[in-house]
Amino acid sequence: MNKKPNIKNLTDSQFFELIQSQKQPGYRAEQIRIALFKQKISDFDQISNLPKGFREFLSDNYVVNALKLNKHRQSQDGSIKFLFDLPDGNSIESVYMPWYDNDEEAIVRETLCISTMAGCSVNCAFCATGKLGFKRNLDVAEIIDQIIEVERFLNTKLTNIVMMGMGEPLLNYNNSIKSLEILTDPNYEMFSRKRITLSTSGIAPRIKQFARSPRPVKLAISLHATDNGTRDLIMPINKSFNLEILMDSIEDYYRITKIPIMYEYILFDGINDTNDDIKRLTKIARRVPSRINIIPFNDISFTNPQGFPATLRPANREKMNWFASELRSQSVPVIVRDTFGGDIEGACGQLALSDKLKILQKIV
């Protein structure tokens, strides 16, 4: 018996065929989409402006919900890690991150970090997701439902989205871009393009293609090194798209979109934290308007890393502040980030992988 498809995955042409097959007027397609993405209904019976017979047809042939919440963990800093089960038995993660005002009383921004893959194929040395291996790309419904399910669970309206969770968004290009088109569609009132950031390890051809997409968003480059030799070790994808190729695509992205770039830079003790790195990073930051995010390293020792990944150690806070100060002295905008959810396995892939390891331990 075939499983019913998720209606959120239908293309424009598939929606047209659906409406025609049921002899419904064309405007029904947009009524359904508004119900799905603006009203965020969880059942077809909630679409009260559709004829009852049509609602019954939709219920018989399609599903609305793509995810099932497995567990969630809340950190002392207010962040919440969600582990969702997919219909095929795979799991994905999302992380809710509240940002407080200076008095730490009122939440001024609510950000959700979402996944675009189950597992990942890029295998960065510092990331637990890569240890899961690549399972599959998420479809449009699975990407968007992370947002809908978290908003429903927390009874809130998220203000910002970052595609920085499990997976490389630009290697799941079509579904990632289609999701962004839905999320930024004015008819659904979900998010402004200014409120969404896509993080990439540096898939240069896709960066150029993304610049020419209907609604490009802010781009975050997972950089983490300033020379090819070091970046080859930290991020093997650099062997396919080295820094020279990557920077060419970044300049193209800014030239087309005029959106400033964010560089993510995990500071590792004794590896990418030297004066020479500061000089090279300054040159990189000056090529287009940009900002550097210096990020603490989240421990992945529970994955039993081997080889180079086993040598990675976080730079201490004093080194991070010095590194940032030196960049600022060169007029480079820098933010030193704190880690969200360190006490709840908050980094990408940590909860899914630890959950998998616990299951395997029980089996053994």
Angstrom distance (rounded) from CA 143 to CA 139:
6
- Bridge pairing between strands 290-295 and 261-266: parallel
348 annotated active-site: yes
- Bridge pairing between strands 334-336 and 290-295: parallel
List 113, 120, 127, 348, catalytic entry = 348
List 93, 142, 149, 264, catalytic entry = 93
Q: Could you tell me if 190 and 184 are in contact, meaning their C-beta atoms sit under 8 angstroms apart?
A: yes
Angstrom distance (rounded) from CA 325 to CA 333:
10
Contact residues for 116 (Cβ-Cβ < 8 A; gap 6+): 137, 138, 143, 163, 165, 166, 167, 168, 169, 172, 175, 176, 179
Contact residues for 26 (Cβ-Cβ < 8 A; gap 6+): 16, 19
- Alpha-carbon torsion (244, 250, 251, 253), positive or negative: positive
| Residue 67 identity | L
120 annotated active-site: no
Q: DSSP characters for 41-103?
A: -SSGGG-TTS-HHHHHHHHHH-BS---EEEEEEE-TTS-EEEEEE-TTS-EEEEEEEEEE-TT
- Alpha-carbon torsion (70, 266, 164, 76), positive or negative: positive
**CA-wise closest residue to 260 among 291, 282, 298, 239:** 291
User: 45: how many CB neighbours lie within 10 A of its CB?
Assistant: 13
List active site positions: 93, 348
